[in-house]
Structure formats: structure tokens, C-alpha cells
Amino acid sequence: MPALPERPSSPKRCSSSTGDALMTRPDEIAPLQGASETPPEERVRLFDNAFETAIFGLTMILPDGRIVKANRRFAELVGRDQCSLEGMSFSELTHPGDVAPSLSLFDDVLTGRRDGYRTDKRYVRPDRSVVETVLTVTAMRRESGELVRILCQIEDVTELRKVERALTERATQLELAMEALRGGFWDMDVPTRAFQTSERLARFIGGPEAARMDLEAYLAKVNPEDYRATDLTPLLEGEVDKSVAEYRLHTVAGERWMRCDRRLLRDDVGSPMRIIGVVIDFTEEHLRRQTLEMDADTDQLTTLYNRRGILKKFQRLDRANGVLVVTIDLDGFKEINDAFGHSAGDLVLIETAERLKAAVRPHDAVSRLGGDEFLVVMSGDGSIADVVARRIVDALAMPIDLAEGVVLAEGSVGAAWTRSPGASLEDLALEADRCLYKAKALGKKNAVVRELS
């Protein structure tokens, strides 16, 4: 038989008051070897070599709880010298909180109720620091059933437990946050495109008894106008690692605005592996934002668009059939203000705003630029321009009833239109103003329309 390789450092033989009773004997390890042809001395050497060089802690314990031998890894784990461990009771090393459970399990082995067990166990070092382990215990019995030794395998899981506690803490914090914010999670496996919502998100959408939802069921709850916002293509193809989307979702509480933060997880070589989505109900925030934007884009007196708002509307116009800008100026407004005061003037402006909105289509945009100057933007060509300009003149020619009496605030109108896709609001408004001055020069209740090339 070839000789065993030399160990890094041979286990130190420790002198002990227990004498030979603590030493490993061939007859005690024979049942573990299953090789009757191997000489007893060789079996001892094999066992001792494996015992000492194991990557995890190992101890051999007598039925009275004393340690017969401990390997180098266990000695390092508990911060003690190997020799000092021999003859020591395992209870001396055990965390006070784990002594009673350890003795109870150990007693089960002594009485034959079990031949082994696996459990979490804490040890205490001389400096009082704590080591968390997973302990696996195996009884070594003779054929008669007599307990000879107990073999213990000790795996250090201190760092693993720290990570687990940190993850549990973060998960708990996130769960509490989600309870406060309303919403939930979903995840998608990129290679298979398998999608599933969390139970919380499913219940948020479908009620207390709702089951987890797949992608088809989830998208069925999204407002069709917002489908584009749910597109995951850039994440699926690995073009981006995160994105945010806002869309409306049908839930048991009605239609809600949801913000979805999406994150891409990659594998070791950088390929897209999984997408995680956190969906949060932010309806109230969305409505507040809409209100703020509306306040910033509208005239406080008339609720028409202001300069900022009308520019946004102009930029979103469909220009396939041309674009039209109309400017309006009230001819008799100064006289009304002088005669009846600013309160009456404000009422005239409010009534004028209502008449202008009634004179155009619902999707056209009407604004007040300041004072008695108004501007309308819409899609359309010259034929639309002529009709709208005349309709506005006629609407403003109608008398206005005030508490102070009946007044007239007739208007002059200038309009400019173009088919050019690059025309700016400033260019069209400037040309419409030139037309307005010409209309005023012709007298009250006139309109002039011109095409801007």
C-alpha cells in the first residue's frame, strides 16, 4: 500500500489526565471504514488524516460530553488551542442561550431516541465574541448499540447569518414601505419571458382573493392609451439597466396612476437575466402635478391657456393639413373699464373667453396673452381660417349683460395659416398680428386672413 501524503502539520498529541481513554482506537473507527482487509493501524492513520485536514470543524465527544479530540479548524473557529480542548465539556464552549437545547438533543442520542441531528448552534470564544454554526451530530455505536463516541461536524455560518439578517431586515423594511405606498412587485425571466406579479400586487389589482398574474393578465389591466409606457424592449435587449414608466391601471379601487421602476439584472457575462419591477400607486401625486402644471399653463382669470400653455399646445398640433393661428383684440374694452371699473372689465374678459371656446372646436386651443389680447391655435388650412375668423367676429359682436348695464366688446381678428411643417408659433402670431392691424384699420367687426408661405 502506498504511503499517505504528509499532512501540512501533524496533529499535536496532547497529554491528558484522561489518558488512553481519550485516544482514537482502531476498534472504534472500524465501523466507519468498511474495509476489514485494511490493517487497524492504517485505518487509524486514514481517519486521523481526514479528521485533521477537514475544511470544517470536527470534534469527537465521549458519552459524558467531554471532547476526545478536535481538529485544527474547530480550534480556530472557537479561538482556542487544540490541546486545551481535549477533555473539555462541549457545554463550556456553548453560548448560554444554546446550552439547554444542546443538552436536550444530546440526551436523545445518549438514550438511543435518535442517532444524530442537525441544528444551529452558537459558540463563545475567550474574547466573548460569538460564532454561529450549523452543527451535525452522528452517533458512533457498536453492533450491540452501545454508544462509543459522538462525531460532530461544525460549519461556520457567522457571515452567512449576518447577510441573511440584513436581507430579512431590508425585506421587512420594503414590505412595510409597500404597505404604506400601495402597489407591489413583478419580475420577468428574460430568456423565457416568464412574467409574474407578487401576491401583494395581484391583490391590489384584483382584490383579496386574486391570484398572481401573468403578463397577459397584467397588461389587460393597463389603460390601452398607455401601452407604449409598458414597453420593456430596451431592458430585454440590454440597452439600458433601468427605466421608469407611468401608466394607468384598472384596480379594485378604480383606475389608478402607477409609477413603475424597472431594473435589469445581468448574468456573469453581462447578458440580460431578469427584470424586476416595483409598482407604486401615485395617483394623488399625479393629480397634484397635473394641477400645478395646469396652474402654470393657464390664465388665472379666464382659465384659458397662457403664453406657456399655448406654446405647448402648438408644439403638439397635428400639422398634416396645415396649422392656423388667430389673434383677437377687443375694440371697446378700454371704454368699458373706464366707465364701469376693472371688476366689470374682468367679467367681460371671462365672457369673451367662453365665447371664443364656443366658436372653435373642442380640441382647438384658446389663450389669453394679457389684457384684452387673445390667441387661438388649431390644425387646418385657409378654408378653416376664413370660417373660424368670421365665427369669432360674430360671437364677439353680441351684447354682454352686466349689472351696470348692457355693453359691447366687439373684436377685430387677424389670422395666419401655413402648410409648412417648420413654421413657428412666433412667425405665425407675428403675421396674424399684421392681419389684425389691417382688420382694425377697416373698422370694427372685421377679420383679415393670410397664408404664410
Q: Which of 200, 395, 428, 423 is nearest to 327 (CA)?
A: 428
pLDDT of residue 402: 87
Q: Is residue 228 part of a domain?
A: yes
pLDDT in tens, 51-100: 999 999 999 999 999 999 999 999 999 999 999 999 999 999 999 999 99
pLDDT of residue 327 exceeding 50, the answer is yes
pLDDT of residue 13: 55
Q: Rounded mean pLDDT of the chain?
A: 87
Helices (H), 68-191: 72-78, 82-85, 90-93, 96-110, 158-181
Last residue of a domain, one of 127, 156, 185: 156
pLDDT of residue 359 exceeding 90, the answer is yes
Please, what sign has the CA dihedral across residues 65, 69, 71, 73?
positive
Q: How far apart are CA 368 and CA 349, in angstroms?
A: 9
Are residues 245 and 127 part of one domain?
no
Q: Is residue 161 part of a domain?
A: no
Contact 4, 45 (CB under 8 A): yes
Query: What is the pTM (predicted TM-score) of this model?
Result: 0.45
Are residues 444 and 348 part of one domain?
yes
Domain span including residue 208: 175-286
pLDDT band at 25 (very low <50, low <70, confident <90, very high): low
Rg of the chain taking only CA atoms, in angstroms: 43
Percentage, residues of the chain above pLDDT 70: 89
Torsion of CA 36, 41, 42, 47, to 10 degrees: 90
Are residues 445 and 321 part of one domain?
yes
What's the average model confidence in pLDDT over 182-208? Answer: 92
Q: How far apart are CA 138 and CA 151, in angstroms?
A: 5
Are residues 137 and 67 part of one domain?
yes
pLDDT in tens, 282-312: 998 888 887 777 778 889 899 999 999 999 9
Lowest-confidence region among 35-39, 251-255, 435-439, 441-445: 35-39
CATH number of the CATH domain containing 271? 3.30.450.20
pLDDT band at 179 (very low <50, low <70, confident <90, very high): low
Q: How far apart are CA 294 and CA 304, in angstroms?
A: 10
pLDDT of residue 19: 38
Last residue of a domain, one of 258, 286, 314: 286
Percentage, residues of the chain above pLDDT 90: 64
Q: Which residue has the higher pLDDT, 181 or 204?
A: 204
- Report how many domains make up the chain: 3
Residue 72, C-alpha cell as written in the block: 485544527
Q: Which of 409, 403, 412 is nearest to 441 (CA)?
A: 412
